Amino acid sequence: MIKLATRVGKVPPSITLAIAAKAKAMKTQGIDVCSFSAGEPDFDTPQHIKDAAKLALDSGKTKYGAASGEPKLREAIAKKLRNDNNLNYGPENVIVSNGGKHSLFNLMLALIETGDEVIIPAPYWLSYPEMVKLAAGTPVIVETTAETEYKITPQQLREAITPNTKLFVLNSPSNPTGTVYTPDEIKALAEVIIDHDLLVVSDEIYEKILYDGAEHISIGALGEEIFKRTIISNGFAKSYSMTGWRVGYLAGPTELIKATSIIQSHSTSNVCTFAQYGAIAALEDSQDCVQEMLTAFTQRRRVMVDRIQAMSKLSCSTPMGAFYVFVDISQTGMKSLEFSDALLEAEKVAVIPGIAFGADDCIRLSYATDLGTIEKGMARLEKFVKV
Ligand code: GLU
């Protein structure tokens, strides 16, 4: 009998990955599944990005690189953060990791230890609390509701702070709710963070996926006091349809980036070298591909939201960003696991139960899939909830 480390026992596997894998396996068996599970854009990676990686591969970019990332990519990311987000970073403030998830995990390891509390508004992306636990910290979950558009208020943040609070996790646009905080709301949260001398990690992975004129503002851009307390997490997966490439990054104060670099130098070393050249092309070449994908997401969102809002037992608000619809299922009398298991079993529609995000009366559907699947899946969902 193997006695595993206690830290493993405290953390369940990622449900998003598990359900996505289950839906894929069912498809391989010839079952006609409509999968709205993982947030993975169905588009292929744009050709110019693939060409840049192929060129790098053919020109010998196949060796170990700097553990913190190719200097050219760190420079390109710093430039992007200056130009797009008004954040005054240099390459020394940037570390390239194996996707946004790995960037956040490195951050937790570098920052959090036993006794430290991390404030996470719920519904949250399911890996945040687990990463905090793996780093031996304590996640402090603050519930939000549809009435406040699933946004944490400055007062709620203030009330959750204790002498042990170290970090606040902000994710706008949000996974799983699609909520986007307004600049004024971000400003109000920044004031609380400064008052209590906390750090904030701003997960901006969905920053380019915005609808109906919603605006993304990076909390760190609001002034010097908040800038020095901010860490940015971002990556290439969602905006450039590069999920499998595993390229993400953190940006923040130099000493913190240095610390994550030490961790990375003993764990993964550099991100796949030629993949990083694809990422350079993603940032430096035309951004038309981002816009084209956004146009498709906009249309898919409309179709999915309209169909769900027409189902009397379900309710959802229209997401302002990302590519998820967060649906309240409380009128069905079922909790989220029961609902999603039964839906998959009866109608072959894969969704993520809200319990994974800290909201058991809800389910999450990703519309990063084709319109045909959305139409078919919505008809099945209507049948399941009997409209
Ligand atoms: N972040 C995506 C999602 O929430 C991908 C899966 C995961 O890593 O959780 O579906």
Mutate to test the pocket of ligand 1, among 15, 16, 177, 351 (most ligand atoms within 8 A of CB): 16
Residue 77 pLDDT: 98
Q: What is the mean pLDDT of each run of 10 residues along the chain (387 residues)?
A: 91 92 94 95 97 98 97 98 98 98 98 98 98 98 95 98 98 98 98 98 98 97 98 98 98 98 97 98 97 97 98 96 98 96 96 97 98 98 91
Residue 375 pLDDT: 98
Would you list the domain boundaries of the chain? 6-45+288-386, 63-284
Pick left, alpha or beta for residue 168 (phi over 0 → left; psi -120 to 50 → alpha; otherwise beta). Answer: beta
User: What is this structure's pTM?
Assistant: 0.96
**Domain 6-45+288-386 coded CATH 3.40.120.10:** no
Residue 26 pLDDT: 94
| Contact yes or no for 353/205 (Cβ under 8 A) | no
Stated as kind and residue range, the H or E segment containing 96 is strand 94-97
Q: What's the gap in Å between 39 CA and the centre of ligand 1?
A: 5
Spatial separation of the C-alpha atoms in residues 289 and 49, rounded to whole Å: 10
Residue 298 pLDDT: 98
Crossing angle for the helix pair 47-58 and 273-284, to the nearest 10 degrees: 140
Residue 387 pLDDT: 63
Hey, which CATH number is domain 63-284, 3.40.190.10, 2.40.50.140, 3.40.640.10, 3.40.50.300? 3.40.640.10
Domains 6-45+288-386 and 63-284 share a fold: no
| Contact yes or no for 289/278 (Cβ under 8 A) | no
**Residue with tokens 């409209």, as numbered in its chain:** 387
Q: Which residues pair with 248 in a beta bridge?
A: 97, 235
Residue 216 pLDDT: 97
Q: What's the gap in Å between 197 CA and the centre of ligand 1?
A: 31
- 271's CB contacts (< 8 A; 6+ apart) are 69, 96, 97, 98, 246, 247
Q: What's the gap in Å between 312 CA and the centre of ligand 1?
A: 29
Mutate to test the pocket of ligand 1, among 35, 105, 125, 325 (most ligand atoms within 8 A of CB): 125
* CA–CA distances in Å: residue 93 to residues 224, 304, 308: 15, 40, 43
Residue 133 pLDDT: 97
